[in-house]
Amino acid sequence: MRKYFTNCTTAEEAKDLYRKLAKQLHPDCGGDAEEFKRMSAEFSEVFDSLKNTHRNAEGKTYTKETQQTAAEFMDIIEQLIHMTGCTVELIGSWIWVSGNTYEYRDHLKKLGFKYSKQKKAWYTHEGPYKKRSKKNYSMNDLRNMWETTEFEQEDSERISA
């Protein structure tokens, strides 16, 4: 029986909720380790069932094949939890990190993030990406095209940069 992810219908919703719950339940943020493990196990189960179901900004649901696993996503979030001064956004199936990222640049590179000079933000995306048009989209354009959730990092125990 699900406790945390009862109302999730898409992979993005599950990822958004996992990110919020990880910030609350993670032992480094004052949460209970056993409760965090239970929530993570439930996320793995839910993500595996929803990983190919997505929603765009208009609310339309679509199916897109993905190879990303729940463990890969959880590992990235685990690393991002402690980056103070940064803003983490889930835009569609992409993770964007902006704000005061300079001191974390090496760490973000190790996680597989790339830097966009135009958008002044770091990004990662599961699998290969082929640009389909020559149009350059701003961050606001992307936010308007895809379902978006933004997380402002609070001051908490920091990772060593």
**pLDDT tens profile 80-105:** 888 888 888 888 778 899 998 999 99
Predicted model pTM: 0.62
Work out the pLDDT band at 153, boundaries 50, 70, 90. low
Ranges assigned E (strand) in 81-147: 86-91, 94-99, 114-116, 121-125
Which pLDDT does position 157 carry in this prediction? Answer: 45
Minimal CA–CA distance to 146: which of 51, 60, 18? 60
35: tokens are 């409760």
The helix/strand/coil state of 79 is: helix
Burial of 139 (0-12, 13-18, 19+ CB in 10 A): middle
Which pLDDT does position 129 carry in this prediction? Answer: 66
pLDDT digits (tens, 9 = 90+) for 118-142: 999 999 887 666 677 778 888 888 8
